[in-house]
């Protein structure tokens, strides 16, 4: 289906809501959503139809992107809409109530189910998110009203738009981080943009007035990423090798088919014997692997080669440590028991491209067998390094020597950003193209 992207999107028959007229629903004069004409079926109850029985060529329909384009595959879309809030997910086309599986207390699950059933529209569905646990009725109503207003605006824009057209996109990154990732163990949020700082303060005061997290405008002399070593950590997340505190390491290799992770011992010597060393390294690796899967957003089939353990009890401890480390992951994971050879087969839900695909391109110098950073990534690294000269008052000019690709990108795409930095720093910035420079290679020279 044509949704205005470079690649056609995929719509499976199980993702087609058979009550397409529900998308023509409008709002009455009081601003309330009118009820749908009939219930939308769950996926399991859909009849065995061909997609041509449900849709015709040239028909305009409202769809939601359920999975972003990955590699050569186009986006997957569905006609079942959903809008996520802080506590609830509104399902305008499905009459159902779902409770997050991470809410395990049965009394709390029943309380939430009864609560949302009394406040949700009769012909809409709601999924209760994990953050709803322990929340009162007013908090959920506030979240639901926000989502209903959002859905109303979507319908209004849909009626007035000509396909293909973007009707609605999710909140911007800073707001999404607050909505999806904020928890009580986060006590400070730093932002280095005054405009984003003001927007986020307004967003939080409107939708999360009881949030205890302190939102601060970073005004340090060093760029924020340098001040907190984020740049270094991002680069480390692209490395295949990850060192463990015990001296061991894990090697992460991702291919089109699967991701292989190899655990190796290091310098640590156990108090009793080699088995102590192996157990300690494997336990540490289990926690680090779960962290790296989230950090790198690795999904699909994953094979982990732990160091061989002869003791069955040790294998059980490592397996339990891996499951516990994965329990806080929002992406679903299924893990099989450790084999006698120390091998673990598991799958992790693939939600979007992994970190390497997001930040890097296929390497043109090794016929696709490795990676280099994208032109935009190198450009933003240069910007951050340029900002580090802000406190050097004796430097009046910066000469930035870059590869031809990066130079073209600076001239064609980021010229306004360069002008803005010149004004902000009060220094002249000159870009010099060096033909023999590798894409990631650059040099910044300050002139007095």
142-167 pLDDT, tens digit each: 889 888 988 888 898 888 888 788 88
What pLDDT is recorded for position 371?
Answer: 78
Q: Helix crossing, 137-160 with 194-207: angle to 10°?
A: 120
Which pLDDT band, with edges at 50, 70 and 90, does 168 fall under? confident
- What would the mean pLDDT of 132-140 be, rounded to a whole number? 86
Structure-model confidence comparison of residues 22 and 18, the more confident one? 18
Choice among 67-81, 113-127, 323-337, 433-447 with the minimum mean pLDDT: 67-81
What pLDDT is recorded for position 31?
Answer: 29
Distance CA 292, CA 281 (A): 16
Looking at the chain, the domain(s) classified CATH 3.40.1260.20 span: 374-447
Choice among 70-74, 106-110, 408-412 with the minimum mean pLDDT: 70-74
Write the pLDDT tens digit of every residue in 269-319: 555 678 888 999 999 999 999 999 999 999 999 999 999 988 889 999 999
Mapped onto helix, strand or coil, the DSSP state of residue 163 is coil
DSSP 208-276: -TT--PEEEE---SS-HHHHTTHHHHHHHHT-SEEE-TTS-EEEEEE-SSEEEEEEE--S---SS-HHH
Residue 56 has pLDDT above 80, yes or no: no
What pLDDT is recorded for position 190?
Answer: 92
Write the pLDDT tens digit of every residue in 209-242: 777 788 899 999 999 999 999 888 888 899 999 9
By the 8 A CB rule, do 411 and 444 touch?
no
By the 8 A CB rule, do 76 and 9 touch?
yes
What pLDDT is recorded for position 367?
Answer: 64
Largest CA distance in the chain: 78
What's CA 7's distance to the chain center, in Å? 21
Q: Which residues of 7-35 are buried (b: 16+ CB within 10 A; e: fewer)?
A: eebbbeeebbbbebebbebebeeeeebee
Structure-model confidence comparison of residues 29 and 13, the more confident one? 13
Q: Give the residue among 426, 253, 278, 408 at the shortest CA–CA distance from 341.
A: 278
What percentage of the chain carries pLDDT values higher than 70? Answer: 88
CATH 3.40.1260.20 fits 374-447, yes or no: yes
Cis ω before 164 (30° cut-off from 0) = yes
H or E stretch covering 421: helix 415-425
Write the pLDDT tens digit of every residue in 102-119: 888 999 999 999 999 999
- What would the mean pLDDT of 382-405 be, rounded to a whole number? 88
Residue showing tokens 């991002």: 234
- What would the mean pLDDT of 23-47 be, rounded to a whole number? 35
What pLDDT is recorded for position 183?
Answer: 66
Name residue 431's beta-bridge partners: 400
Which pLDDT band, with edges at 50, 70 and 90, does 268 fall under? low
Burial class (CB in 10 A: 0-12, 13-18, 19+), 337: exposed
Structure-model confidence comparison of residues 353 and 144, the more confident one? 144
What pLDDT is recorded for position 81?
Answer: 86
CA torsion sign for 308, 312, 318, 323 is: positive
Q: Helix crossing, 312-326 with 274-296: angle to 10°?
A: 20
Q: Which two tokens stand for residue 282?
A: 């494997």
What pLDDT is recorded for position 267?
Answer: 64
- What would the mean pLDDT of 257-275 be, rounded to a whole number? 78
What pLDDT is recorded for position 390?
Answer: 76
Task: Kindly list the distances between the CA atom of residue 336 and the CA atoms of 28, 195, 264, in Å, as whole numbers in the listed order.
Answer: 53, 48, 21
Residue 23 has pLDDT above 80, yes or no: no
What pLDDT is recorded for position 194?
Answer: 92
What percentage of the chain carries pLDDT values higher than 90? Answer: 36
Distance CA 150, CA 209 (A): 19
């Amino acid at each position: 289906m044509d949704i205005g992207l470079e690649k056609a999107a995929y719509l499976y028959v199980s993702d087609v809501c058979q009550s397409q007229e529900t998308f023509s629903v409008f709002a009455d004069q009081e601003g309330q959503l009118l009820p749908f004409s009939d219930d939308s079926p769950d996926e399991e109850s859909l009849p065995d139809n061909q997609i041509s029985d449900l849709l015709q060529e040239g028909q305009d329909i409202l769809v939601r992107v359920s999975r972003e384009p990955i590699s050569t595959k186009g986006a997957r879309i569905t006609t079942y809409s959903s809008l996520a809030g802080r506590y609830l997910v509104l399902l305008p086309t499905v009459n159902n109530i779902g409770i997050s599986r991470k809410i395990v207390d049965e009394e709390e699950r029943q309380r939430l189910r009864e609560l949302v059933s009394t406040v949700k529209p009769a012909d809409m569905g709601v999924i209760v998110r994990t953050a709803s646990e322990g929340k009162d009725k007013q908090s959920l109503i506030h979240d639901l009203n926000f989502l209903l207003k959002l859905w109303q605006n979507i319908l209004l824009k849909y009626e007035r738009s000509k396909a293909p057209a973007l009707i609605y996109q999710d909140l911007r990154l800073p707001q999404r981080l607050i909505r999806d990732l904020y928890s009580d163990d986060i006590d400070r949020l730093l932002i280095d943009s005054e405009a984003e700082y003001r927007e986020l303060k307004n967003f939080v005061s409107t939708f999360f007035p009881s949030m205890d997290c302190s939102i601060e405008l970073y005004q340090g002399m060093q760029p924020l990423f340098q001040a907190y070593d984020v740049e270094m950590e991002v680069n480390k997340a692209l490395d295949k090798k990850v060192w463990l505190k015990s001296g061991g390491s894990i090697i992460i290799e991702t291919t089109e088919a699967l991701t292989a992770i190899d655990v190796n011992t290091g310098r640590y010597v156990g108090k009793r014997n080699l088995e102590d060393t192996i157990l300690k390294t494997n336990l540490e690796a289990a926690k680090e692997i779960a962290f790296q899967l989230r950090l790198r957003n690795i999904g699909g089939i994953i094979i982990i080669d732990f160091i061989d353990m002869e003791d069955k009890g040790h294998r059980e401890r490592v397996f339990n440590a891996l499951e516990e480390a994965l329990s806080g992951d929002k992406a679903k994971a299924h893990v099989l028991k450790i084999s006698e050879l120390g091998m673990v087969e598991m799958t992790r839900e693939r939600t979007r491209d992994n970190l390497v695909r997001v930040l890097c391109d296929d390497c043109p110098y090794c016929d696709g067998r490795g990676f280099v950073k994208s032109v935009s990534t190198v450009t933003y690294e240069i910007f951050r390094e340029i900002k580090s000269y802000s406190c050097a008052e004796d430097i009046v000019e910066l000469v930035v020597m870059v590869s031809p690709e990066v130079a073209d990108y600076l001239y064609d795409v980021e010229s306004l950003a360069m002008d803005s930095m010149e004004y902000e720093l009060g220094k002249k910035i000159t870009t010099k193209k060096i033909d023999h420079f590798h894409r990631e290679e650059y040099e910044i020279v300050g002139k007095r």
